[in-house]
Structure 1
Amino acid sequence: MQDTAAALVDQLASSLKARGLMMATAESCTGGLIAGACTDVSGSSDWFERGFVTYSNAAKHELIGVPMALIEQHGAVSEPVARAMAAGALAHSAAQLAVAVTGVAGPTGGSAEKPVGTVWFGWATPEGVFTEHQRFDGDRAAVRQATVRHALAGLLQRLPPNT
């Protein structure tokens, strides 16, 4: 599993460098694992601009400008919050691309509406902000690792064409 994330990071690094782009992350349920996977690569400062670990609702608001009203209305694990996190990561960085994740990694915290394994993704690109919902099986570590892989793969899929 770790190899898949590393392979995705290598591919992402090459693609971002070839395009002269930088990326940022805004992470809740992964607690910095996406940023960690990216910065495991030597030379990542050429394409990784910064990462925000916004685990608490206050951090989402204070660090990347997610409106508290949005969190109160929809909950932290929601499409509007993932969208706002991705947009906020771009607005509070010098990056051109951002990925955001917010979810329920478990084993506690799940509900009937948002069971353990529920994750919302946001990808901010020059073309706009894209969101997606996934539900991953497994324990906390498995959900978090699946989230890292899906976040990286999603960013790769949404890269602008290399000109």
Structure 2
Amino acid sequence: MQIKSRIRTIAHYPHEGIMFRDITTLLKDPVGLRATIQEIASRYKSMKIDKVAGIESRGFIIGAPVAYELGVGFVPVRKKGKLPAETRGRDYQLEYGSDRIEIHVDAIQKGDRVLLVDDLIATGGTAEAAAGLIHEMGGEVVECSFVIDLPDIGGRARLEDQGLKVFALCEFEGN
């Protein structure tokens, strides 16, 4: 199935010169959504995965059903202040300023093999922070899995430079 053809591109959103890759068209398509989840999950069926961690918010949409397919738990990686229990967090840099992601302190156990999932990799900053947080908590990131890679922005290379494995279902050139 051609996943890429089911993703809408919106020119100049949210800013002039940006080509926004919108997965809502993929999500509303039952065949496309099922194929996306099954293709990602099938890649990891033979690997030992203990948890799937999904990055807020579209990483939840993809990650939770992947965790279900793999028969493992799901861990939400959220923005600061969104989780109700005690958390552990990590700051990361944005183009203008910084942000913070958090995970519940009891979500990742020492030795857990974690699949990190999000919809798209651009700069890689959020995924790098999430992977670092998982490592700090004693987990091992087996791979970072994305629906879309924007290779010209350099996120994949950034993660690979950190020793992380990266997989994406499709790529879009440009920004």
Greater helix share, structure number: 1
TM-score interval (norm. to shorter) = 0.3 to 0.5
> What TM-score does the superposition give when structure 2 sets the normalisation length?
0.41
Greater strand share, structure number: 2
> What TM-score does the superposition give when structure 1 sets the normalisation length?
0.43
